Every structure is written in C-alpha cells, then in structure tokens.
Amino acid sequence: MNVVLHVNGVAHALELDPRRLLSDVLRHDLGLTGTHVGCEHGVCGCCTVLVAGEPARSCLMLGVQADGAEIRTVEGLAAPDGTPHPLQVAFRRHHGLQCGFCTPGFLMTALTVYRDA
Ligand code: FES
C-alpha cells in the first residue's frame, strides 16, 4: 500500500506491506533507530512514539494505520541545532536514564505529561 507518513515534520512517501509494523517502518525503512523495540507485544513501552500527538506503542501499530498522521519520535525532541529538549535535560539531571534502552519510550510518554503540565 502507498502511504505518506509525516515523521518529525518530514513527509515520507512509502510503499508498505500492510503487515509491516510501524516500529519496523521507523527503524528499518526510515533509519530512525532511536525508537527501540523490547518486548514486541505492547508491554514494555520502549517503542512508544507520538501519533497525532498521542502516545502509541509502535510495535502494536501497523505502518499503514499511520497513513497521513503526524508522528514524532525521540529524534524529533531536540532542537534543530542539537539543543536537547528540556525533558531530556531533566532526565539527565535527575539520572532518569537507568540503562537507557527504554529511555526513548519513556521520553515520548513523558512528553505528553510535560505538554499538558
Ligand atoms: Fe515493548 Fe513495544 S516493544 S511495548
């Protein structure tokens, strides 16, 4: 299927197998490997991205379901000049990283709380 995904403000026209997971599209087709994959069944949250402004586990969503949607990944948090997002600064300041594997998903989930605060 032909779809257009708007990821971090950039439109990507893609031809996708309807069964391809959004996490695989982001990581393998678009090279956005900041979105991590852990459990692959919706439990750990590592793969969380924002779809239309809401957190979504990209391992449970098909790429074609995101057709036309605005998607934000962890790569879209920092400013264009590389300045970290205030949430990234807070995670670093308060040692919120642990091993770091799930941090991208934590950041994207926390972003919705930060935004609403
Ligand atoms: Fe664990 Fe998606 S990889 S929730």
Question: Are 66 and 50 spatial neighbours (Cβ–Cβ below 8 Å)?
Answer: no
Q: Does the global pTM surpass 0.85?
A: yes
Choose the residue to mutate in 21, 44, 73, 108 for probing ligand 1, maximizing ligand atoms within 8 Å of C-beta: 44
- Indicate the number of domains in the chain: 1
CA 66 – CA 39 distance, rounded (Å): 21
Assigned domain for 117 exists? no
Assigned domain for 50 exists? yes
Domain assignment of residue 57, given as a range:
2-111
Task: Compute, in angstroms, the gap from residue 75 CA to the centroid of ligand 1.
Answer: 18
The pLDDT tens digits of the residues spanning 37-49 come to 999 999 999 999 9
Backbone angles phi, psi at 93, to 5 degrees: -60, -40
Assigned domain for 70 exists? yes
What per-residue confidence (pLDDT) applies to 97?
86
Task: Read off the pLDDT of each residue in 58-62 and give the average, rounded to a whole number.
Answer: 98
Confidence of residue 117 (pLDDT cuts 50, 70, 90): low
Tell me if 101 CB under 6 Å of ligand 1. no
Q: Which CATH number characterizes residue 36's domain?
A: 3.10.20.30
Confidence of residue 14 (pLDDT cuts 50, 70, 90): very high
The pLDDT tens digits of the residues spanning 65-101 come to 999 999 999 999 999 999 999 999 999 999 988 899 9
Is the predicted pLDDT of residue 107 greater than 90, yes or no? yes
